[in-house]
Structure 1
Amino acid sequence: MASPKDPPLDEIQWRSPQIVAEMGGIHSNTVLHYFARSPFFEETSNNAIVTNQAFHNAGMYHLIQTREAFEGRLRTMAGLEFMVAQEPAEMGPGQGTGVWVIRKQTRKKRPGVEDEITVHATYFIVGENIYQAPTLADVLQSRINTITTALGGILPAMDSARTWTPSQGDVYRQPSNANKAEDTPVEKSLPANEEEGAKTKNSSLEVELQQLAEDSFFRHLKYGADYIDEKPITGQPGNFHVASTGRMEKPVKPPILPVKTEGIGNLGLSGPAAGKNVKDVKKDGKPEKSPRQPNAPKLKRRKSKPGPVSPTG
């Protein structure tokens, strides 16, 4: 029985050239006995029971001489067994692939019905090497791990290739031809002075871009609410002025229209006669007196009396 520290059986490769030499090579009559010497074999299987009985009972020794007799005996028994599922395919006269397929299975005997077989594992014998075939769950797990590892390597590469600029936002830089030339056996190295100059230039460019981004972001926070009018604007951010197109235009006063006095002179109102303009008024500013009407009563002028003088005044 394997110890807990031993690696899993589907991760090991077993071979024994000494046993192959003792058996005279691996062929149809020795393949199951060669497999029985490997760590994949179980001593509680029907194969081990028949082999032990044949070594202690001469009447059963013929059962282990050929594979047909050995497997015929196993088919009459119920329980765990190891059977050859596929022989090497013929690639030519007397030539085969050398690949044997052995299955670990449990046989259940039922009267009147074919035996029920449950396969537990599959093994390959390639030359002298024996391997255990992985299960479907192991294959899927391996594929998922491979995909996860690849994605884990892609994401950091994407982050390193992405840069942010105020004008374009997120920009992805394409890898240079120098990174793609991995198949070149010899890499050309630059002189020490040129390499230092290139590093200094790249570092200074990165610093300038960083300062430009910070300055642009600061201006956006400070003057982001300012908008440009349709007219030309002069000045600096925070102190804009609308540019004048020339001399300032004086405000235009509305013209004074002539006063028409037709039909008003008969009412006895003061003012210039009909047909005369406002310019005909006397230069001293006193208008002409309107003529008195003969029947009009004379207005009396009321004199105002001085009020009482207060003793304190």
Structure 2
Amino acid sequence: MNTPLDELQWKSPEWIQAFGLRTDNVLDYFAESPFFDKTSNNHVIKMQRQFSQMPGAPAAGAPAPNGGEGGNGQYGGGASMLPHQDMGSGQGEFAHVDAARRDVLARYPLYAGLERELSKLRGVEYVLACVREPDFWIVKKQERSDTTHTRVLQDYYIIGANVYQAPTLFNVVQSRLMSTNYHLSQTIKNLHKLTVFQPSQGVQFKSTPSGHAETSMPTGNTVASVPATANTGGVLSMNGAGSTVAGQTASTAQFESNRTRDTITQDLMDKLMITSIKSKPEYIQ
């Protein structure tokens, strides 16, 4: 299989139709998936039970105590019939496991018996870590070094009929960083399209058609119309005689009309230079 396991979704509707999916057989369902390691201790226990009938265990096909079919699954029948202590003393017996798993072991004697068998072996094993019936379970893959010490290798989620492998922390952080970098790059690219360079004012945002407004300024006996934009820093006020203001207003109007062009001509540059030398505009914030 070339698909990485953390990108794989597996389900078996045929298996669920034949046996159903409940907490007492969810590990049987997981064992059919490509996530299951056939060299694990769980598979060793399954093989041992197939060739040795445990004393007191129901015959194959007989109803199991937890509602499953006896002999049907990996842990059906025999595991729940193992001799075990009562639940009160079982809390002390399984004190080394986390609270969620202790709750599972206390509620399901089937998995309490399986835990006792797994504690006798060393190596890779699968345990039911969390139950939220009727459609959510968490299976842990762990490596057992002794009776009470294990190291978690991988988590798996069973949601409805689908089985997923939990991604590693490295993959989660890598995915988030790549997503953040992509959106920042797109934002900078879009902002660059909205800016324009002007020799007199430097880089500023472009004016949109909806942002233009006509502002009238008195210039002696006449009134000159100057386009004003909503995204400029303030209002341009001129000091001096009426003729000077009128001339500057005309130059500003011509500059604003030419601003939408893609290129700045040499003639426009000369007029801008003359305007900047003769006038001293003040920007009121």
TM class, shorter-length = 0.5 to 0.7
Code of the aligned partner of 1:156: K
Which of 149, 162, 167 aligns to 1:129? It is: 162
Distance 1:206 1:174 in 2: 10
Q: Which has the larger radius of gyration?
A: 1
Alignment partner of 1:139 is 2:172: yes
1:100·1:125 contact (CA, 8 Å) conserved in 2?
A: yes
- Bigger mean CA deviation after superposition, 120-129 or 168-177: 168-177
Give the match for residue 63 of structure 1.
78
Paired positions, count: 183
Q: Which has the higher contact order (CA 8 A, sep 6+)?
A: 2
Distance 2:194 2:22 in 1: 59
Give the match for residue 210 of structure 1.
263
Indicate the RMSD between aligned Cα atoms, in angstroms: 3.0
Code of the aligned partner of 1:122: D
Which ranges in structure 1 are unaligned for 5 or more consecutive residues?
Answer: 89-95, 178-203, 229-313
Once the 2 structures are TM-superposed, how far is the Cα of residue 176 of structure 1 from its aligned partner?
A: 7.3
- Structure with more helix by fraction: 2
Cα distance per residue 1:255-305 (max 9 Å; x no partner): xxxxxxxxxxxxxxxxxxxxxxxxxxxxxxxxxxxxxxxxxxxxxxxxxxx
Distance 1:138 1:168 in 2: 46
Which ranges in structure 2 are unaligned for 5 or more consecutive residues?
Answer: 58-76, 81-109, 211-256, 279-285
Cα distance per residue 1:237-257 (max 9 Å; x no partner): xxxxxxxxxxxxxxxxxxxxx
| TM-score scaled by length of structure 1 | 0.52
Give the match for residue 3 of structure 2.
7
Code of the aligned partner of 1:11: E
Once the 2 structures are TM-superposed, how far is the Cα of residue 75 of structure 1 from its aligned partner?
A: 2.1
Once the 2 structures are TM-superposed, how far is the Cα of residue 59 of structure 1 from its aligned partner?
A: 2.3
Once the 2 structures are TM-superposed, how far is the Cα of residue 98 of structure 1 from its aligned partner?
A: 1.9
Code of the aligned partner of 1:14: W
Identity within the alignment, %: 30
Give the match for residue 100 of structure 2.
none
Residues 206, 16 of structure 1: CA spacing in aligned structure 2 closer, same or farther, 3 A cutoff?
Answer: same
Which of 117, 120, 126 aligns to 1:76? It is: 120
Runs of 4+ in 1 over 2 A off after TM superposition: 59-72, 173-177, 204-212, 214-221
Distance 2:170 2:10 in 1: 23
Give the match for residue 15 of structure 2.
19
Distance 2:160 2:263 in 1: 64
3-state DSSP of counterpart to 1:148: helix
1:74·1:81 contact (CA, 8 Å) conserved in 2?
A: yes
Equivalent residues in 2 for 1:166-181, closer than 5 Å: 166-173=199-206
